[in-house]
Amino acid sequence: MLSIDTGFTMCNPQSIQDPQRSLLSCENNLKKKMKKKEAKDEIRRRNELLLDKLYYIDRLPGKLHPFTLSIDRPPSAYSLNRHNREQELDRIDRENIKMLNKIQHASTKYSIEDLMSDRY
């Protein structure tokens, strides 16, 4: 059987009776494989160019980059209710401290002896 090495895979002509037709078939298959390989190489090349561009953009941030963007506003512009909010947070803190003190200093209403006697 006739065998042709194309560099990709071995091309085995189908019939010995018509070798010219078989060789044309192998040549067409080889051309298809070459086109696919060229397309993949082109895609890979374009991807590498895009990656280089993204790397360049990431290394040299512009004026609108989120990490370098700063907004200069006076403190009063952040919140119109800042004073009221701070007072409310202070009140909540005082109430929480009172509750914590009540919980820490509370005595239990049940004795261990009563619980053990009820259990057995």
For every residue of 2-30, DSSP letters joined together read --EE-SSSEE--S-SSSHHHHHHHHHHHH
Whether residue 18 lies inside any domain: the answer is yes
Note whether residue 47 is domain-resident: yes
Q: 48 pLDDT exceeds 60?
A: yes
* Chain segment 51-103, per-residue pLDDT in tens: 988 888 777 766 666 666 666 666 655 667 888 889 999 999 999 999 999 99
In a domain, 102, yes or no: yes
Instruction: Look up the pTM and report it.
Output: 0.36
Q: Which helix (H) or strand (E) holds 31?
A: helix 19-59
In a domain? residue 57: yes
Domain span holding position 91: 4-69+82-106
Q: How many domains does the chain have?
A: 1
Q: How far is Cα 31 from Cα 47, in angstroms, rounded to an integer?
A: 24
